[in-house]
Structure 1
């Protein structure tokens, strides 16, 4: 089991980014969370199969149709750092 933390920057708040990320993560059988950060970015922490995390990363590059992703940062983390379900915080 792998885990990763993503920071997504751009027009990613107020465009259903977190809810759409949750749908994608659940479809990929990933657990974790998505939350807005004070600087206007979104943090996504996921745990699961490495290939599924890579697929989510590909999706995060674009996000939902109303989003405009300008930057995506990935940090691989210990699997124990991710929650046991997927939540929008």
Structure 2
């Protein structure tokens, strides 16, 4: 059900997708109540950077990984950028 960290870690291993890591940035749903507590984000992105970026998206829903391949393709989902942001 992808509620626990182990579920996401298992999926990352299953897909063989590299360059992504598990982040606890949404623990206790502090960033967004509509996202899982564990998020898969680029390995180079720090948790605080994700939090800063989240405020620019509707419902604080920044881009997060959904699925990937060993060849490097990734499916990422996100909410629309806030209408107050002029540089899209």
TM-score (norm 1): 0.30
**RCO comparison, higher one (Cα < 8 Å, 6+):** 1
Query: Whose strand proportion is higher, 1 or 2?
Result: 1
TM-score (norm 2): 0.31
